[in-house]
Structure formats: structure tokens, C-alpha cells
Structure 1
Amino acid sequence: MDTWGRKAGVLYCSFFSLLGGALLCGSINVKMFIVARFIAGWGSWGFLAVTPTYSAELAPPGLRGLMVGMNGVNIALGYGLASYMGMAFFFASDPVAKWRGPLGIALLWPIMMIIVTFLVPESPRFLLMKGKVEEARTIVYRLHATKGDPDQEFARGEFYQMQKQAELDRTLDPGWIAMFTKKGYRRRTALAMGFAFVGQSTGVLVINNYGPTLYKTLGYGTKQQLEFQCGWITVGIVFNGVGALFLDKVGRKPLMIFGVAGCCVCLILEAAIVATYAEAATNKAGLAAGVAMFYLFLAVYSVGIDVAGVVFYSELFPNHIRAKGVCLSIATIALTDLVYLQATTTAFANIKWRFYLVFIIITFFGSILMYFILPETKGIPLEEMAKIFGDTDDVVVFSKDVHVDHNTHELIVGDKVGGLTHVATHQGLTDEIKKDIVEHKEKGADA
């Protein structure tokens, strides 16, 4: 993404998804299947980092929660389609078709993503980082044009801020080490990776991947297990949508804390139900309550962790390390899931419902910690995010200082340099004006 662009990241992930998916569908033995899973995962997990990064860089500040949040909605929709196909092919008469069919259908989506890259623009922020100013300007003016605003004040002001910030960002260290050594970057990285860990420590993927097994524990047959899994995933689609709609109104922090704390409560109740009713499997009301608690859990998770988390990761970092920051967040999710999923079968076989205590304890303390350390990022332009981490000097232009003079149609910018106000064209300050400001400041001239 940093070298070739956000669209190149999409093509990269599509290639591995197609290759791995084709090998999965055509596997002739278990070894080939496992290798194919690795390749397919290379693509699908990569998509989880590419799409939020790209979406955040296209979205205006006031709608970023909704637009990036749609990634969560569509991820849930993808899980839903997978579950629905699993349910549909359960009834196939050919035992081979039962598993090759759904895997073959999955090949459609990376093909569609490749087609999409020919229809959508490159990220203007990436283009500015590469010095392609005019190409970036055209995209911003086209995407963020506002009806009833002949001067296009918003688009012009936004682009000016993006352009000036990119000029600074190009001079900053974009390396991995800086993300852990520079104070402001280190805090952002810790927040993103920390929330990713806590969010997956709700055990959501354990419930997803072992859903049928857990429903079996509650006493339900195979067909009912698949039906419950389809219903459960559908809840995620709906409530990811709810979360996306609320993010720009309520904010990220309240929903994220609500998600973690709410999941903790649901897990406590689920553990109590499983401990009381699962072994005997005779109390129908108790078993139904266990299923209902899984559904309530996913509703809370979707609103506060799934959709809010993906937005949060994508907007924390500056242009030159955004892709790396999002990738670290997704890698944390993957690693956390890997550990839990490897332990789940053994844990449920040996300590049964007590395995839920791991998730309960982490989410309980995690929700308290997040209350004190999470910042609110709602409505803040990506170029100004540094100010909430104490890096005010890294912000070149604040949006509140940019407006259009409707008499002259020129862009008026209150710049930090020398505390002066100057007139700039839509192309920004010339080098000569910058030089004059610096010289006057050095001479101690009255502003």
C-alpha cells in the first residue's frame, strides 16, 4: 500500500485470495488443503487492512464513521453468505459438493474486487505522498463537491489541508521502528493494538468458528446448529449497520466501551447458563436462553467493537504510517484469534464452561482501562489527529483556519508560520511567500 498505492493493495489481496481459493476448491488431499488455507488467508486477512485504510482516506471527516463502518457491515455480510452457503450445501446429495461448492462460490468475490479497482479512484492522500498533486486535487474536488456551494469551500479547504500536511509527512520517518520509539506514534500503536487484543478477547471468533459445537453442547442437532449459526451471523450484519449509523453521532469511545463491557456481561450470563443447563440438556428454556445470549452478545459486539474498532484503527495514524498502523491492528486480531482458537477444543473438553472465564476477566478489566485511555476521534480530520496525542507541531494547518473569501473567491488561511494570516490560491502558498514570512519573523517585524 505504501509503495504502490491502496488500489495495488486490493489487487495484491485479490491475487492471493484467488490463488488460495482455487487451490482450496481443487484440493486432492489434506496437505494441499492446509497449504491452500495459508495462501487464502494471506489474501483475506490482508483485505481487512487494505479496505479500512482506503475508505478512511476517501471519506470526509463528518461521514468517516459511516463510510469506514461499512467495512464492518460488509465483513459481517461476507460471514453471513458463507454461513448461508454452508446451510444450503448441507442438503446437497453429493458429499464432495458439500464442501467444494461453498469454496468455489467464494472465488467470485476477489474477482469482483479486481473489477472494482478499475472503477474507483486512488486514495488522494497516497497520491499527495507521492507528489501527484493535480491528480489528487481532481479526485478530492470530484468526490467532495457540495451542492449549493459554488466556491466549493469544503473541498478546497480540505484539499489545501491535505496537501500541506502531506508535504510535512513526506519528510517524517515512515519506518516500523518509529511506530514504537516516537512517543506520539507509540501511544497510537499501543491503543490500536490494545483495543484489537481486548476486542478479540471477547471470544467472538471462538463463538463463530465453534458455533455449531457450542450449540451441540447446548443439546441441539446438526440442522439446528447450522440454522442457529446462520441466524447468529445475520444479527452481526444488522447491528454492524446500526453501529455505522451511530458512530458519527455518538462517537467512537462510548460505543467501544459499551461493546467491551456489554460482551463481558453477556459472557457472564452465557457461562452461568452453560454451567447450569448444558450437561443435562433437559431444560428447554435454559438452552434457549443460552442461544439468545449468543445472539445478544453478537449484537453488542457488532455495534461497539466490530464496526467501531475498524474505524478507530483506520483514523489514528498519520499518512506516512497509516497502512502500517492498520496492519499491526489486524495482525494483533489474527494472532489473538490464533491463540484462542488453538486452545478452544482442548479447553472446552477439559475445563468446559470455565474457559469463558478467560474472556470475562480480560473484557472486565479491558473495559475499565479503555474508559480512561481511549481518545475520541469523531469528526476530527485525519490531518489533525496528532493534536489529541500532544503532537500539535505535527499539524500544519487546522481546518478552522481555512475559509473562502466569497468576494474574491480566494482561499484564506491562518497559517502557523509566524502566526500570520495570508491569502492563498487554491494551489496553496508559494515558496516566495513562505520565504518572506520566515524573513520577517527573523527580523522581528511587527505582524
Structure 2
Amino acid sequence: MIKLSWYNVAIALVIGLGGFSYGFGSAVFVTSLGQPGFYMYYKLDPSSEYTATVLGAVNAVYFTGAALGSIGQCYLADWLGRKKALAIAGVMGTIGSALVAGSVKVGMLIAVRVLQGAGLGMLLTLVPLYLSEVAPPHRRGFLTGLTVLSFGTGYVISGWIAIGCYHASNLTVAWRTPLALACIPPIALLIGLSFVPETPRFLVWKGRLEEAWTVTQKLHHDPADPHDESAHAEFTQIVRQVEFDKEMNVTFYQMFKKPSWRKRSLSAMFLTFAAQCTGIYGITNYLPVIFQSLGMTGDAPLLLYAGHSTLGTVAVLVSIIIVDKVGRRTLIVWGFLALAMVLLAEALLQWKYIGTDDKAGNAACILFMFIYIVVFQCVDAPAFAWTAEIFPTNLRAKGVSLAIFSLFVGTITFTAPSPLAFRNIGWHMFLLYFALAIVASIVSYFYIVETKNLPMEEIGALFGDEVVVHLTADGHGLVEDKGGSEHIESSAAEPGKV
């Protein structure tokens, strides 16, 4: 069995800067909504319907850009490689973030948020794509789940920075400084990329077998396995399966034509969209405003927002630690059901107490918002791992693109109308999220398959695809799919040959 090495972890931390860039860049604008100087500079009345419309538009165009970026990255990732695509996305994210920080009019802010969204949306798609292709099978959920941990950490850091800036004497500095700091994470990623390799699966796909073997050997070297038998076995399996899959040219149209590919594509798109249907961005993107409606004043909404993000990130860590043991499907199905119960409780509490002076009731409303973010991580982290690992190499970039595109479509669907919705119908929104979470749990129960501990080249069998060879239980050898009888000792293979 291939073990998780410190080299794997180091690579994941560098690539995780892409997720951090997305989280920080997304959340830092949310914190601006809690800064009085933001409204004063753009001459916006926080309580007006016009302002609610403007905020909805600013968030909608950001996620529209992110959706376009999530689709566009697949062409770069398949053409230039995962690593170079990450670099291009990092440059776009840096430029977009700088322009957002320097925006002087609402129109300019709306326009440049598209570019920022495109760059950061590409990063959010590429991070799980890359991590899934370098992770050992038994720890793939953990490493791929670092995507969620990294952008969650971005949310946390941006929240606490916003609190520090809230008390700045210059009100413009208070909200512009956090926006400008969003340039730093993608720059750090660009520097870090010079120290990480291209993924072995992409290298094999492009016929660069010697390079692919060198990377595989370094990724999965184990002192307890001096002959690198496990690495040889995995490399042989990758080469055989990729060569088999390469015979089929893939377009987005074909991904919905072949039954096994269609099942993957629709399941991945459903899962990421369903997560948004529980209200995660519709709620968290306006959380400071929601806290204000519950009687919080001054910097209290920002403090609560930062605490909310911090707790959510701790919950992500717990989720990715247990996902390879508990399983993706179990966490997702029960996570959606638990979310439904929390959302129902929040709706009833807000129905009873919002707009009142009942401090205990308002505190209960806030408490359940914190419970909500903890439970949500039972769905979010496993979903990122699952959608990245179910596609074969020739489909993976496009498949993850579809999944993240669907995520952003869901985000736009529930984020753009949220300011007006919370202003006009209030707690009824939580009833909508409750109903959708129930539906998501039921659909997940019937259509989400368990993938834990399986090599990515063998997951195709769950969807009806042919698997050329299987790893033996100890990970040191291979078994031919034909009759399941022929055993190949991986240690006999030469580097770059199968």
C-alpha cells in the first residue's frame, strides 16, 4: 500500500495556495460589506433596495467570471498541463485582485470582478484536479480535501484582517487594504509552482513516460519498499489505463453521450450544485448583514463572521481526516440530512425572534448559523474529493470543470437574489434551503457511489467502464482484468516501460 509522504504533503501545501487565493479573494469582499467606509466611498445607502441590487450584481459577476474560468481552464490544463494552467490562473487572479482593490467607481468594480472571478475560479478547479492526480489512493480524500481547507483558511485570514482594518482612522484604507492583500496569495503560488512537478498522469497522457516515472517514484517512494514495488505497480496501472482511455477522443458533448461518462458528469454536477442549494454562499456572503439584522452593531458582525469562518475551517480539517475512513458517500448523504434539520431550526428561530429585543432568541439564531457551517463541511470536503477522482485522465480536466461550473451556477442562483430575498422574505429563505437539502440527501443516497481507497484507474468500474488492470491488495502487484488470473510483479518493470 502506498503511504502518504512528507513530499506529498509539501506539494499539497504549495498547490493549496491556489485554494487559499480563491478563499481569500472571495471572502475579502464579503468583509467589505461590514465596513462603513465602503458604503461611504461608493455613496451607497446600506438599507436601500438599490444597494442590495448593486451588491447582488457585484457578487453575481464575480461568480459568473469564476464559472467561465472553471470551464476555460480545462483546455489549458489538457493542452499545457496542470502546472502551467495553475500559473496562468495565478497571474489572472493577481491582476484581477489588484484592479478590484483600485476600483474608483461601482461600474469599474463590477467589471474587474469578472476578471478576478475568472482567475480565482480557474484556481479552485485546478487545485483538486492536480491534487487528485498526485495523491496515494488511501489518502486521496485527505489530500484532495485540502482544497476546501485551503480556501476555508483564506476565509478565516481575510475575516480577521478585516477586523484589524475596521478600526483604521482612514475609512477608505479600512476596506481597500484587505482587497489589496488578495494579490499576495496568488503571487506566492506562482513562486511555489517552480518547486512542484507536473502530475504523472498528465505526463503519461502526453507520452512523456520517463518524466512520469521519475515523478511517480519521488511521489510514492517508501523506505520500507526499497525496490519501489508499489510505485512501479501504480505507474504500470496508470500507463495501461491511460493508453486505453486515450483511444477515445473526448468532447463535452461526448461526456453526456456515453452512459458511463454521462452518469459521472451528471452526478458530479448534481453534487456541487446541490451543495449550493443548501444556501452556503447565499448565507455566508451576506453573513455580516444577517448578524446586523439580529441586533449586532459596530465590529460585532465582523467578529462573528471571522469566528464563523474559523470554526468552519476547523470542521473542514476534521472532515478531511475522517473522509478516507468513513467514506465520501456516508458523509455526503448524512451531511445533507443534518443540514436540513439545522436549516429548519434556523428558520423557526428567526421566525420567532428576528426583529425582537430577545437577546437569548437572537443568540440562538446566531448559534445555529455556527452549527450550520460545521455540518456543511460533511458535504463540501467529500464533494470536492469525489468529483475530482471519479473521472479518468482523458476526462478529468473537463469533468472537474463541469463540477465547478455547476457549483458556480448554483452560487449565482442563490447569491445574486440573496440581498433582496433576505430583505423581503427573511427567514422564509431558510425553509427553501431546508427543502432542497432534503431532496439532495435523497438523490445522493441513490446516485452517489462510494470511492474510498480505490485507485483512480479502478473507479471507472463503478460506472460501468472497463478497467485494464487492478492493483493487488498489498499494492505491490497487478492483476489483469482478463479472467483476473494473471499476476504481474511490478518490481520487474523498468522505469518508463510497462
Structure 1 and Structure 2 fold alike (TM over 0.5): yes
Deviation at 1:422? 6.5
Deviation at 1:99? 1.8
Contact kept in structure 1, 2:210 and 2:495, CA below 8 Å: no
Deviation at 1:349? 2.3
State how far apart, in whole Å, the 1-side matches of 2:218 and 2:296 are: 54
The one of 333, 338, 345 equivalent to 1:269 is: 345
Deviation at 1:420? 6.3
The residue that corresponds to 1:383 in the other structure is 457
Deviation at 1:222? 3.2
Deviation at 1:429? 11
The residue that corresponds to 2:25 in the other structure is none
The residue that corresponds to 1:435 in the other structure is none
Residue correspondence of structure 1 range 12-411 to structure 2 within 5 A: 12-280=88-356, 282-302=357-377, 304-391=378-465, 393=466, 395-400=467-472
Instruction: State the number of aligned residues.
Output: 420
State how far apart, in whole Å, the 2-side matches of 1:403 and 1:95 are: 59
State how far apart, in whole Å, the 1-side matches of 2:88 and 2:140 are: 25
Deviation at 1:15? 1.2
Aligned partner of 1:246: which letter? I
Contact kept in structure 1, 2:470 and 2:478, CA below 8 Å: no
State how far apart, in whole Å, the 2-side matches of 1:355 and 1:402 are: 50
State how far apart, in whole Å, the 1-side matches of 2:365 and 2:350 are: 7
Contact kept in structure 1, 2:213 and 2:496, CA below 8 Å: no
Aligned partner of 2:367: which letter? A
C-alpha spacing 1:312/1:418, structure 2 compared with 1 (3 Å) = closer
String of CA shifts for 1:351-371, please: whole Å, max 9, x gaps. Answer: 221121211111112112211
SS at match of 1:398: strand
The one of 480, 485, 491 equivalent to 1:415 is: 480
String of CA shifts for 1:304-359, please: whole Å, max 9, x gaps. Answer: 12211110111011100111111111111111111211111222222221121211
Residue correspondence of structure 1 range 419-438 to structure 2 within 5 A: 421=486, 425-427=492-494
Contact kept in structure 1, 2:148 and 2:381, CA below 8 Å: yes
String of CA shifts for 1:45-77, please: whole Å, max 9, x gaps. Answer: 111100000000000000101111111111100
Please, which runs of 5 or more residues in structure 1 have no aligned partner?
405-411, 432-447
Aligned partner of 1:292: which letter? L
SS at match of 2:472: helix
Deviation at 1:418? 7.3
C-alpha spacing 1:416/1:402, structure 2 compared with 1 (3 Å) = farther
C-alpha spacing 1:119/1:289, structure 2 compared with 1 (3 Å) = same
String of CA shifts for 1:362-419, please: whole Å, max 9, x gaps. Answer: 111211221122100101111011111122x2x1111128976xxxxxxx64424576
State how far apart, in whole Å, the 2-side matches of 1:413 and 1:284 are: 64
Please, which runs of 5 or more residues in structure 2 have no aligned partner?
1-76
Deviation at 1:296? 0.4
Aligned partner of 1:144: which letter? H
Contact kept in structure 2, 1:401 and 1:413, CA below 8 Å: no
State how far apart, in whole Å, the 2-side matches of 1:333 and 1:50 are: 14
Contact kept in structure 2, 1:402 and 1:413, CA below 8 Å: no
Contact kept in structure 2, 1:129 and 1:166, CA below 8 Å: yes
State how far apart, in whole Å, the 2-side matches of 1:214 and 1:244 are: 29
Contact kept in structure 1, 2:353 and 2:362, CA below 8 Å: yes
State how far apart, in whole Å, the 1-side matches of 2:88 and 2:336 are: 33
Contact kept in structure 1, 2:213 and 2:495, CA below 8 Å: no
C-alpha spacing 1:279/1:174, structure 2 compared with 1 (3 Å) = same
Deviation at 1:192? 0.6
- TM-score, normalised on structure 1? 0.90
Aligned partner of 1:355: which letter? M
Aligned partner of 1:377: which letter? T
SS at match of 1:192: helix
Aligned partner of 2:486: which letter? T
C-alpha spacing 1:430/1:352, structure 2 compared with 1 (3 Å) = closer
C-alpha spacing 1:164/1:28, structure 2 compared with 1 (3 Å) = same
State how far apart, in whole Å, the 1-side matches of 2:138 and 2:475 are: 17
Deviation at 1:28? 2.4
State how far apart, in whole Å, the 2-side matches of 1:262 and 1:403 are: 36
Contact kept in structure 2, 1:160 and 1:428, CA below 8 Å: no
State how far apart, in whole Å, the 2-side matches of 1:413 and 1:259 are: 36
Greater relative CO (CA pairs within 8 A, separation 6+): 2
**Is the deviation greater in 365-374 or in 416-425?**
416-425
Deviation at 1:421? 2.8
SS at match of 2:79: coil
Contact kept in structure 2, 1:49 and 1:327, CA below 8 Å: yes
State how far apart, in whole Å, the 2-side matches of 1:414 and 1:342 are: 52
- TM-score, normalised on structure 2? 0.81
**Is the deviation greater in 287-296 or in 361-370?**
361-370
Measured on the aligned residues, the alpha-carbon RMSD in Å equals 1.8
Contact kept in structure 1, 2:472 and 2:478, CA below 8 Å: no
SS at match of 1:7: helix
Deviation at 1:428? 8.8
C-alpha spacing 1:155/1:21, structure 2 compared with 1 (3 Å) = same
Aligned partner of 2:349: which letter? I
The residue that corresponds to 1:409 in the other structure is none
SS at match of 2:450: coil
Aligned partner of 1:311: which letter? A
SS at match of 1:32: helix
